[in-house]
Structure 1
């Protein structure tokens, strides 16, 4: 269709909706015939993003969490050190196991020499066979004990290694509910990591489509033309490819579940998000096509207005397909050659008579344009410029959370003797809070020190004897057997001392645990176990300490809002600023920032949990409270703006007309709120310096000639 003809018809229709003819009023509408066109085979499905790998981080040992090496919500790499559990007792276990092996090595060395000597003497009839067999049995027993000791050392070494927890995959790490100072049990879930790049989109496709159009599960597995439309209605950059087809049908829907893989370097897609998938083959087929403007939508679906041979209008429900330039495929409801209204349908109704005007044929009415293109429409235009984004997202149900809450647990048994704080007061890190009866643990430490001292005495004596045996052997005044025995005794005692020292370290740790100290500064709560009670269960906390400054405010944001306004959760973290309003309506002067976003979308609500951090220097905000937060973009991150009157809306969303080579071109946009000066923030779709039309918008359509005043 010629652009000049389209414009001529549009101008006429806009200027004369009806014309007086003898006996009746005539309504002019622009019309076109449905034509055959080439259409790709496309199937649409609603899908959900899934991390290719999703790992729950767990502890392989139990103990106090002493160090956190990551920021919540950060992107971590495989092999990164994440957490450290107090290794003291596990170091002692390794040292004790090593000492046990050293003792056995000393005994084996002596037993080996003794067996070899007795074996040689027995062969010469100089020693009894019974003595030789006894020596052999002793040696074999020691070797078996060493095998067990080696296994114990391997177990202890694994426990010690597990005190450091590393990232098993690369991805975004989640919230850490238990921070430094908390006691972590073996196997306890600590946090999660969701792989972000690449990412899967899981979606269903009917058995008929898979086996018919796509020629079966094996063939559809080779499809590489998968387009994703994200929750904010924008096409995702880059195409996906189908990598997995489930090995069974869903019984309730008779459909296959498929997984398409997308590269996600910008982290736009988040685990458990939603989107629309368009799966297509490269083959084409002939279908009926009509102008995009001829298709309308209501609660019943898509429909067109058809003009019959008597120029009467009827409504026809259709199945709309893909858009090919200015035309759209229609799979059902209309045949090629039928006439549809492409412009002016608002001036008529089903059953009415109209006068169809075909743009290619021109108009044979008085005053109509004959040949050539009419003069361009003079329009007002505004330049796209940067502005401070006025868009504000208000969340009324944000919840305050302590960044860290530590449960003070009894790690030893005994009578709770003292409580050195007032319930509800603020305590400093390292403050002594509880005292558990240390009597038995002090006794164990004293006994351990005595054992080490005794072994020191024995070692000195054994070393003296060994050195004496060396000198005697040099003058043949002693036997080699006596020397080996002295060496074995010395080595065994030294190993025994190492083991005793390791046990003493554990005993000292138990004694230190009798004094329960504050692992962080914060407010301590109610005492959960009273003075005088005998504490035995590590699962029962004595009290809780909550960090008050800084403090989190947790709230949900829809995936659509995050993608539309900020582009990704990473950009939300960088660009957003927050204002907090308390339950009493007081606005806090201090501004907050987004600390991190969760690594998954909540499937039931389509929202992503966001944690904002506020300094809370005066400690006026308390964990558990409900507040309102207003999320807005920082001033140093401007957006583009256009006058509000330039923004139009149709069934597909917001759009403007931009001026390009003296033509009006439709540009789809995603926009936010209007500022006090009447400008609307635009997040995507425009470039700085472009001109948007602000007047005569009713006369505009794609490619209308224009002249900016």
Structure 2
């Protein structure tokens, strides 16, 4: 403890970070919203009474899975009718073609009139056209039967069921449930237009997709790591931002649609540079500064010049050197030249530096009284 104005001054407890040359990731933070990669409503392509539900709410499904069935008896009957009409027309066409071949032989002997042959040719052509209509009607009836089995249009997770068994389902309008594709999943976020040149340069110079991280709202937990996917083609004139989208595999389902996350978009990586934690940077009338702890465990205010910023660190261009220690916590009580108590990560205090041994007036060896320490 030091003494000022007759009062003992206690050392201020602080946590520190030792600066070192190393790798620096240029990142930009943004607030993002998790969105499904694809989202669709589960509807039927035909109308009918819902006979059976084959899915559970919240179930993961694959594209093509049968999820529900309608009462298809009327569609089965229509299919039988269409198949019968097709067979009838096919038989009529077969008989007409046989008659046509016979008339073609008779015309050579002039046993029939030419008009009779022409009429038969017209009948064959008409029946061939009718046959195509009957085939199309048969195919449409088959589709109706097939569509009475409602299948998943995409792979994804089902939401809550909206229709119960026994209710009428209208084609294309009654929604049974929603399906959201969550593997992969997207995170949408915005970027201020001032960062656009830097982003475009990073996209042009990078052979690999730009890394993106999704963090929890309190930024204490990394939820998922993904990559930059796409950006909008214009800046929003009202907000001065551009919309971006990142892609995450989401294999562990750590991200959920409409969840809010903190996004960190990495634009570049710089090697062998000096960086300072963002928590150490302070702002004053003269600009940015940090508190440096010297060898005597005293706090020194140090103006600094900084460069690019990141999610946790900022580049230092002047004012600091590797090996120096800057204060992270406890800055609100610091005074220039004041004593500090460095608190380690395990909660223990760093021992104070020993004063040099000098000879006292009586010739006995003793330690010099450290600066700021009161005599005993």
Same fold (TM over 0.5): yes
Match for 1:95 among 75, 80, 84?
A: 80
Distance in 2 of aligned mates of 1:236 and 1:76: 28
Q: CA deviation at 1:213?
A: 5.6
Corresponding position of 2:347 = none
Query: What displacement does 1:140 show?
Result: 1.5
Q: Distance in 2 between matches of 1:312 and 1:239?
A: 39
Q: Residue 264 of structure 1 corresponds to which residue in structure 2?
A: 250
SS at match of 1:240: strand
Q: Find the aligned partners of 2:176 and 2:124 in 1 and give their Cα distance.
A: 47
Partner of 1:572: none
2:115 maps to 1:130: yes
Cα displacement (A) at 1:77: 1.4
3-state SS in 2 of match to 1:198: strand
How far apart are residue 177 of structure 1 and its match?
Answer: 0.9
Tell me if 1:329 matches 2:320: no
Q: Contact 2:215–2:223 (CA<8 Å) still a contact in 1?
A: no
Alignment map for 1:71-82 (pairs within 5 Å): 71-82=56-67
Indicate whether 1:178 and 2:169 are aligned. no
The CA deviation at 1:365 is: 9.3
Deviates more, 1:30-39 or 1:141-150: 30-39
Cα 1:102–1:142 change in 2 (3 A) is same
Matched, 1:19 2:6: no
2:354 corresponds to 1:354: no
Q: Shift in Å at residue 218 of structure 1?
A: 4.0
Q: Flag the 1:110–1:307 CA change in 2: closer, same or farther, 3 A.
A: closer
Distance 1:72 1:271 in 2: 16
Residue matched to 1:163: 148
What whole-Å deviation, never above 9, does each CA across 1:382-436 have from its counterpart, x for those lacking one? xxxxxxxxxxxxxxxxxxxxxxxxxxxxxxxxxxxxxxxxxxxxxxxxxxxxxxx
Offset at 1:284? 3.6
Q: CA deviation at 1:163?
A: 0.6
Quote the residue 1:246 is aligned against: 232
- Kept in 1, the 8 Å contact 2:216–2:223? The answer is no
CA distance in structure 2 between the partners assigned to 1:123 and 1:329 by the alignment: 100
Q: How does 1:302-701 map to 2 (within 5 A)?
A: 329-330=313-314, 335-336=319-320, 341=327, 345=331, 348=333, 354-355=338-339, 362-364=353-355
Match of 1:286 in 2: 273
Compared with structure 1, are the counterparts of its residues 206 and 290 closer, same or farther at alpha carbon in structure 2 (3 Å cutoff)? closer
Cα deviation for residue 335 of structure 1 reads 4.0
1:65 and 2:56 are equivalent in the alignment: no
Q: Secondary structure at the residue paired with 1:59?
A: coil
Counterpart Cα distance in 1 of 2:180 and 2:160: 12
The two structures have a TM-score, normalised by structure 2, of 0.75
8 Å contact 2:28–2:310 — kept in the other structure? no
Summarize the Cα distance change of 1:198–1:92 in structure 2 as closer, same or farther, 3 Å threshold. Answer: same
Deviations 1:357-395 (A, max 9, x none): 787982439999xxxxxxxxxxxxxxxxxxxxxxxxxxx
Question: Are residues 317 and 58 of structure 1, via their aligned partners in 2, closer, same or farther at CA, if it must alter by over 3 Å?
Answer: farther
- Greater relative CO (CA pairs within 8 A, separation 6+): 2
Q: Do the aligned residues in 2 keep the contact of 1:37 with 1:286 (CA within 8 Å)? A: yes
Q: Which runs of 5+ in 1 are unaligned?
A: 1-17, 369-709
Give deviations 1:162-205, integer Å, cap 9, x for gaps. Answer: 11111122110111111111100110232211111121112222
**TM-score, normalised to structure 1's length?**
0.42
Q: Distance in 2 between matches of 1:285 and 1:254?
A: 34
SS at match of 2:201: coil
Two-structure CA RMSD over aligned residues (Å): 4.1
Shift of 1:232: 6.2
Q: Structure 1 residue 285: deviation in Å? A: 6.8
CA contact (8 A) 1:316 1:333 kept: no
2: CA distance, partners of 1:92 / 1:74: 34
| Residue of 198, 203, 209 corresponding to 1:212 | 198
Q: How many residues matched?
A: 338
Alpha-carbon distance change, 342 to 206 in structure 1, aligned in 2, over 3 angstroms: closer
| Unaligned stretches of 5+ residues in structure 2 | 343-349, 358-365, 368-376
Give the Cα–Cα distance (whole angstroms) in 1 for the partners of residues 109 and 301 of structure 2: 122
SS of equivalent residue, structure 1 residue 93: helix
How far, CA to CA, are the matches of 1:254 and 1:76 in structure 2? 40
